[in-house]
Structure 1
Amino acid sequence: MENSLEFAQQLDRTDPLQSFRKRFYIPERNGKPLIYFCGNSLGLQPQTARLALDQELVIWQQHGVEGWFEGENPWLSIHQRCKKPLAQIAGANPSEVCPMNNLTVNLHLLLTSFYQPTPNRSRILTIGGDFPSDQYALESHIRNRGLNPDETLLEVFPRPNEHTWRTEDILTAIEQHQNSLALVLMSGLHYYTGQVFDMAAIAQKAHEIGVPVGFDLAHAVGNVPLKLHDWGVDFAFWCSYKYLNSGPGGVSGVFIHEKHHGSNLPRLAGWWGYDEARRFEMTKGFVPMPGADGWQLSTPPVLAMAVHEAALAITAEAGMEELRRKSELLTGFLADGLQETATVEIITPPNTAERGCQLSLRIKTGGKTVFNHLTGQGIIGDWREPDCIRLAPVPLYNTFEEVWRVGQAFADFTS
């Protein structure tokens, strides 16, 4: 790539996704649009979100409780309207996905079903330094089963003086501990480094030793292509407020492979997971909905679901293949623009197959000063202690010209 404004503008003119930027509100400061490279933390607001909310508010206003049953799109089926685009994005069958709850709530629900320790096989394999919420959930389930997290949780770390994991080290750890493992659970894309893990290979290795495997896809869903069904992943969960642009604290989602739909896995039951045809009989004895829907607990948050549905439609329309193609170009252009900046070390893998939208930059000296400089220049990324700036040019709404300007801001500061 040519590191010039003219080349960046040419890429924007020929970008097949260029029109999607107009579907989002771009944050401004003093009347000027910011360069928003923080979709890895919170995606931008779709312009259709307000309309979607208003439609449900009108139904609430005019129908009250009958909104659950009346009208063209009654609330009773609101989660169903999200299943087709979610399945497309996750590489799943519609019956295998369901929008519900929040991420860590869903993690606890799925651990209840899929973590079944025995006296001989009780350990959980994960990666060291995964997102803290996942670590806390794992620790609590281990303790609630009378086990010691220090002995039961097996963490795989990068090699000394390396920032990211080698797939062979994860696969080797699974094989070495096969006689004691009960579960493999880890992120599909690491929040700090931006590394995408080889989920297909990890799932295959876990199944070779008869162990279920699950993935936290908070930073992967809507970011990188997923084939959860084909990979044979047992379960997965995610949030929707990053690359799915469904609003702060937006509804989460789950994937449960169809091979488990007729099983007798234990679960924490709630009335919205009860057979819909008999739900209002209010009888004892839980009869689950078929598929992933049977893991639902409570009444869905209609207003949040309305925004989620509107946002999913945009991602599904763009298509993960086109989004991925542009994402690789954006991160490649950004990496090229930063390669001569001596104070910056990109710790995200250089191989595009091992990264998504995010580049994590280790700032060797004065990291917070660099970050504050970028913010002052209208560039919004995020800071992670002790020395990391995360930047995520998102293909739905970021441009190549913005990427070039970020590179120039680094060059200007360090020259």
Structure 2
Amino acid sequence: MKHSLVYAQEQDAQDELGSYRKKFHIPKQENGALHTYLCGNSLGLQPKITKEYVQQELDDWANYGVEGHLNAKNPWLPYHEFLTDKMAKIVGAKPIEVVVMNTLSVNLHLLMATFYRPTKDRYKILIESDAFPSDRYAVESQLKFHGYPDGLLELKPRNSETLLRPEDIERKIETEGNEIALILIGCPNYYTGQVFNIKSIAELGHNKGCMVGIDLAHGAGNLKLELHDSNIDFAAWCTYKYLNSGPGSIGACFIHERHARSFDLPRFAGWWGHDKATRFGMRDEFSPITGAEGWQLSNPPILSLAAIKASLDIFDEVGMEKLHKKSIQLTGYLEYLLSFFLENEVEIITPKNPEERGCQLSLQLIRKEGKKVFEAITKRGVIADWREPNVIRIAPAPLYNSYQDVYHFVMILKEELDNTQ
């Protein structure tokens, strides 16, 4: 029976990616049992090889000092380049379009410095009404900085609905696009888990003369992306969620190839974005590198890059095709169990169509107080994510989560719903 533990065990036994679970550290409870960890959408688990990768750089620092920039096993001077090809494959981009640098909100500001160019007639920025708070803060501060504090436009669901309808997005861009300088959308939306058709949004926006950017904090390493073909202008993402690079780790960004040689585009500059052949010539005139690398500012933190490299090597071994396939199956199993056992207790606000979501399901409780139940399942060893005002986010990451993880979570949730007043 599909709703039995035996079924979950059988699926795990047949899972071609099941062995990768052993390559990650899974947190333990005080009693020694493993946590049911379903929070990769907030912080991914640590690959066991990460310690080795970081230790290599610590050893080289100890042994070489500054000479490690050239003589380390993985020379620090070009270290970020070791990550480019693998990161580009994860997001469906060309290597020239991708660079690992800075952190997410920093990259969004740097990219808006280039791609948000307001005029008195075209100055608005379009976001989702429930965009991640940091995105909203970044956008609002850019608007104020440029002197357009009233320039925020929001995509809002219809009354009594939670998700955005594609036709409403199209209508908003069509009717107000002449005043929109930039469209900046989170994909998936962090709260609902809704995935948007970014290729369609890019086409709609470009037809109205808008620049289009995407925040992929919850998309990179989760969705099967084709950024180059989508034709968006830029994207930015963190690496500590589905990409398992460690808390607060360095992020990455995408700038479409058509902008690679647009050296007249305004940008904030730093020496690491300068032509590599003359970077150490200490020239006065800034000469940007072709492609996304030209938006770099400073030499990157090597220890953080080492942690990212460890995870990217695993992703490259597995491939996004297999991860995407398992993700659909694993999240579909979670959806099935919730429907089977808790149909009248839990509402899934994430889209039902697998093409309109990643691995995350956002749950709202129908008859019980969500925060109280969340605290109860946490005490039972479930590590998930609570988001105000009333959503429990569950994200079975296909790289290390199992069918049994999903089954145990649903059983614990069911028991606590039965016990909670």
What is the match of residue 110 of structure 1?
111
CA distance in 1, matches of 2:415, 2:137: 42
Return the alpha-carbon distance in structure 2 between the equivalents of residues 205 and 317 of structure 1: 36
Report the secondary structure of 1:179's partner residue: helix
1:50 equivalent in structure 2: 51
Size of the alignment, in residue pairs? Answer: 413
1:271 and 1:298 in contact (8 A); partners too: yes
8 Å Cα contact 2:57/2:72 also seen in 1: no
Offset, 1:387:
1.7
Residues 60, 73 of structure 2: 8 Å contact kept: no
Task: Check the 8 A contact 2:127/2:154 in 1, yes or no.
Answer: yes
What RMSD in Å do the two structures reach over aligned CA positions? 1.1
List alignment gaps of at least 5 residues for structure 2.
none
* Whole-Å separation in 1 of the counterparts to 2:74 and 2:36: 37
Within 5 Å, give how 1:22-41 maps onto structure 2: 22-29=22-29, 30-41=31-42
Deviations 1:338-374 (A, max 9, x none): 1142221111111111111111101232212211221
Q: CA deviation at 1:124?
A: 1.1
* Structure 2 counterpart of 1:147: 148
User: 5 Å matches for 1:115-126?
Assistant: 115-126=116-127
Q: What does residue range 7-406 of structure 1 map to in structure 2 within 5 Å? A: 7-29=7-29, 30-148=31-149, 151-263=150-262, 264-339=264-339, 340-341=341-342, 342-364=344-366, 365-406=368-409
* Range 166-175 or range 334-343, more displaced: 334-343
SS at match of 1:357: coil
Q: Is the 8 A contact 1:158 1:164 kept in 2?
A: yes
For structure 1, the 5+ residue unaligned runs are none
Partners of 1:402 and 1:255 lie apart in 2 by 34
Quote the Cα distance in structure 2 between the aligned partners of 1:22 and 1:226.
Answer: 26
What is the aligned-residue identity percentage? 50
1:225-251 CA distance string (max 9 Å, x none): 110001111100000000000000011
Alpha-carbon separation, structure 2, partners of 1:171 and 1:284:
46
Secondary structure class of the residue paired with 2:258: helix
- For 1:114 and 1:220, how far apart are their aligned partners in 2? 21
Q: What whole-Å deviation, never above 9, does each CA across 1:41-61 have from its counterpart, x for those lacking one?
A: 000000111000110011100
Deviates more, 1:163-172 or 1:237-246: 163-172
Tell me how far apart the structure 1 counterparts of residues 248 and 317 of structure 2 sit (CA, whole Å): 23
* Maintained 8 Å contact 1:221/1:244: yes
The structural deviation recorded for 1:391 is 0.7
SS at match of 2:277: helix
Given that residues 338 and 410 in structure 1 are in contact (C-alpha distance below 8 angstroms), is that contact kept between their aligned partners in structure 2? no
In structure 1, the residue matched to 2:415 is 412
Alignment partners' CA distance in 1, 2:10 and 2:170: 43
Q: Is the CA contact 1:37–1:394 (under 8 Å) kept in the aligned structure 2?
A: yes
Counterpart AA for 1:351: N
C-alpha distance after superposition, 1:276-299 (max 9, x if no partner): 111111111110111100100011
- Code of the residue aligned with 1:320 in structure 2: it is M
TM-score under structure 1 normalisation?
0.98
SS at match of 2:102: coil
* CA contact 1:362–1:387 (8 Å) conserved in 2: yes
Deviation at 1:161, TM superposition (A): 0.9
In 2, distance between residues paired with 1:141 and 1:380? 35
| Aligned-pair CA distance for 1:407 | 1.3
